[in-house]
A and B are shown apart, each in its own frame.
Chain A
Amino acid sequence: DQQVKQNSPSLSVQEGRISILNCDYTNSMFDYFLWYKKYPAEGPTFLISISSIKDKNEDGRFTVFLNKSAKHLSLHIVPSQPGDSAVYFCAASATNNNDMRFGAGTRLTVKP
């Protein structure tokens, strides 16, 4: 069963504009959420995380928003740069459960 869903397989934005990547989850036990970025032939690289006790976490150009009632989180990248072009994975884990569940990923293309 797909407990973490990324419904947009791809997203294309212009350099300098905002990129918004979305993620939905079904398991109400998830309390820790992460975004990973992946370039071809490399492993996923940790980008940013958020605990369920928060609704926003910001790190430079990257902000993650969590809406627990809607079981939805999003990653905002402002301003987007061509080097941000990659596949972005949303992941979630629950207390007392060390395995992370990943979404299928969204391929972001930032055009110069």
Chain B
Amino acid sequence: GAGVSQTPSNKVTEKGKYVELRCDPISGHTALYWYRQSLGQGPEFLIYFQGTGAADDSGLPNDRFFAVRPEGSVSTLKIQRTERGDSAVYLCASSLWGRDTQYFGPGTRLTVL
């Protein structure tokens, strides 16, 4: 079956711009996670959705970052007023339920110039 997909695969933007990153989880998976991976580091947790609600957003670095999952399936990570430090690979993962094995998408590489 189809795995987790993320679009776009690459995004280049200018400092101060707004970006949206999309994640399509595996069908039927109720839990969805966003991570950020900087060069030479492991994935860093950002936010976790159970269904439509953000069950844990403690990893979001500041209020420029926001994520939604309005219908409990596709999720969008939104970054306002992007900064060069936001450059990273943004990974999405989904699992059948919370604490089950997470399956990752290929990531979106965001570059802020």
Contact = CB atoms under 8 A, between A and B. Distances in A.
Interface size class of B (residues with CB under 8 A): 20 to 34
Given A99-B56, A99-B58, A46 B45 contact: no
A89 B35 CA distance: 14
A44 B55 contact: no
Contacts of A98: 31, 33, 48, 50, 55-56, 98-99
A99 B59 contact: yes
B42 A4 contact: yes
A93 B99 contact: yes
A59 interface: no
Interface of A is mostly: strand
Contact of A104 (B42, B93, B98, B102): B42
Interface of A: 4, 6, 9, 32, 34, 36, 41-46, 49, 89, 91, 93, 97-105
